[in-house]
Structure 1
Amino acid sequence: MSALEQIFADLGAWNWLVLGLVLLGLEILAPGTIFLWFGIAALVVGAVSLFVDLPWQVDVVVFLLLAFSSLLIGRKLMAKISRESGDPGLNQRGSRYVGREFVLATPISQGDGRLSIDDTVWRISGPDLPAGTRVTVDRVEGVKLVVKPLQPRG
């Protein structure tokens, strides 16, 4: 029996548990979620090895199968969660205001004006309108919001 085989035989399940914790620790330091899935696989192999005495070669094969299958499943899961929970307007702040109504504090003259929304002053374009007019944001063109007068109800 070689020295490596002797180490694996002496430590048994503890090899896998320590490896799993080390991989989970690396996950904290490294970006992405690669080490997470390998760490989980190592912990599962370690837990199984506590109860079932398998040769270390079988443990390695089970670890590799678990690691790569959990990596593939985890990647798909993370991609799905990312699509569902992401903010599609994150890098397009103006798109958040499309369809919303505002009151002009200053007039629009010669097609240009300014509109204060929350803590930001936006450049706007649209037809000439006096201050106090209710407008709705129609679309975004570059860094400008395009507004149109709100149609009276009724």
Structure 2
Amino acid sequence: MQIVDFIAANSSWSWIVAGLVLLALELVVPGGFLLWMGVAGIITGILTFWVVISWPLQWLIFGVLSLVTIALWVRWNRGRQAASDRPYLNRRTDGLIGQEAVLEQPIVQGFGRIALGDTVWRVSGPDLPAGRRVRIVGSTGAVLAVEALPN
């Protein structure tokens, strides 16, 4: 009971310490949620320095601040795109769109082959003879869609 009385007597500092503990836990269990709950705890502690608030209302303030800060963080985090030094790492075919190549094998019944670098790619498009220049215009899986270039 002495601990509960001590926490009740020092509610402002209790919230601040709880917020700092939540911030420290964020380092161990990453994910972002404990970070914003820690911020809400610290804000609740600072608020109780100036205004005398009952315990149930303090918990309500903490809960609402936690939900609001987490919701804002999730909304902001989903809206931003992660920058990458390799934007086509797992979408290799997207990086080939717009390139020009020469057909290694003719496109017969909608499919043929081209060589790009050290890789031979299956292509789809209109029937064309081998040696014809084509431009890559899209992809479906690992099959590149091509169109004929004017001679």
Q: Same fold (TM over 0.5)?
A: yes
**Pairing partner for 2:99 from 92, 98, 101:** 101
The number of residues matched between the two structures is: 140
CA contact 2:101–2:115 (8 Å) conserved in 1: no
Local SS of the residue matching 1:146: strand
RMSD across aligned positions (CA): 3.0
Mark the CA change 1:122 to 1:18 in structure 2 (over 3 Å): closer, same or farther.
Answer: farther
Q: Distance in 1 between matches of 2:94 and 2:70?
A: 35
Identity in percent = 24
Residues 67-116 of structure 1: CA distance to partner in whole angstroms, max 9, x if unpaired? 123223332332233xxx15897643312333x13344xx5224212212
Q: Is there any run of 5+ residues in structure 2 with no aligned partner, and where?
A: 107-111
User: How far 1:4 sits from its partner (Å)?
Assistant: 4.5
Counterpart check, 1:11 vs 2:7? no
Distance in structure 1 (CA, Å) of the matches to 2:6 and 2:89: 52
Structure 1 or 2: larger strand share?
2
1:14-63: per-residue Cα shift (whole Å, max 9, x none)?
21112112212222332432212211111111222233333333322211
Partner Cα distance (2:140, 2:79) in 1 = 31
Structure 1 unaligned residues grouped into runs of 5+: none
- Give the Cα–Cα distance (whole angstroms) in 1 for the partners of residues 78 and 91 of structure 2: 21
SS of 2:129's equivalent in the other structure is: coil
Counterpart position of 2:109: none
Instruction: Give the TM-score normalised by structure 1.
Output: 0.70
| Paired letter, 2:113 | D
